[in-house]
């Protein structure tokens, strides 16, 4: 399968940083880097929008999802607050990453640090068809917690 060609623009404060890249040959997401001009310290419970220094032009029918990096989440409690953050195909501004520190210690973000990952994926659109009732299903309207947490509960 050929890679999807996506135009990317490096913004002035992203100069000198590598473009997003895959860490391994079979990675699903590319790493986004912090394009900060000065270090940023996230205090416990704090959050900040961290610039990536890039803007992209996705083709129609695609989105980009900004997701946490598992190592930052596990080791430091750093995650993407609106995970996954959605970059729509018609957005042309800078990709920002809203990070939050759910850990118990301050966390420093430095220029060039890998702060999130971005996955580009196809998107389906829907055409709503209003009806008076919905067809039945085995689950019905069971919502939050309705399937339990133990496989024996099902």
Q: How far apart are the C-alpha atoms of 98 and 82, rounded to whole Å? A: 7
Query: What's the rounded Cα separation, in Å, for the pair 154 and 149?
Result: 9
Reduced to 3 states (helix: H, G, I; strand: E, B; else coil), residue 151 is helix
Higher pLDDT, 85 or 2: 85
pLDDT per residue as tens digits for the range 72-108: 999 999 999 999 999 999 999 999 999 999 999 999 9
Predicted confidence band of residue 145 (pLDDT cuts 50, 70, 90): confident
CATH superfamily ID and name for 27-125: Deoxyuridine triphosphatase (dUTPase) (2.70.40.10)
Residue 33: what are its φ and ψ, rounded to 5°? -105, 155
Q: State pTM to two decimals.
A: 0.88
Domain ranges for the chain, please list them.
Answer: 27-125
Q: pLDDT tens for residues 118-134? A: 999 999 999 999 999 99
């Amino acid at each position: 399968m050929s890679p999807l060609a996506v135009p990317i623009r490096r913004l002035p404060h992203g100069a000198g940083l590598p473009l997003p890249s895959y860490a391994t040959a079979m990675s699903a997401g590319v790493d986004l880097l912090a394009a900060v001009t000065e270090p940023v310290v996230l205090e416990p419970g704090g959050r900040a929008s961290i610039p990536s220094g890039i803007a992209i032009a996705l083709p129609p029918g695609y989105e980009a999802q900004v997701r946490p990096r598992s190592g930052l989440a596990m080791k430091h409690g750093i995650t993407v607050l609106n995970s996954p953050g959605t970059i729509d195909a018609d957005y042309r501004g800078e990709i920002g990453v809203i990070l939050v520190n759910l850990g118990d210690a301050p966390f420093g973000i430095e220029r060039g640090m890998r702060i999130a990952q971005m996955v580009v994926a196809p998107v389906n659109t829907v055409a709503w068809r209003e009806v008076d009732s919905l067809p039945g299903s085995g689950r019905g309207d069971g919502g939050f917690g309705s399937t339990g947490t133990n496989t024996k509960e099902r």
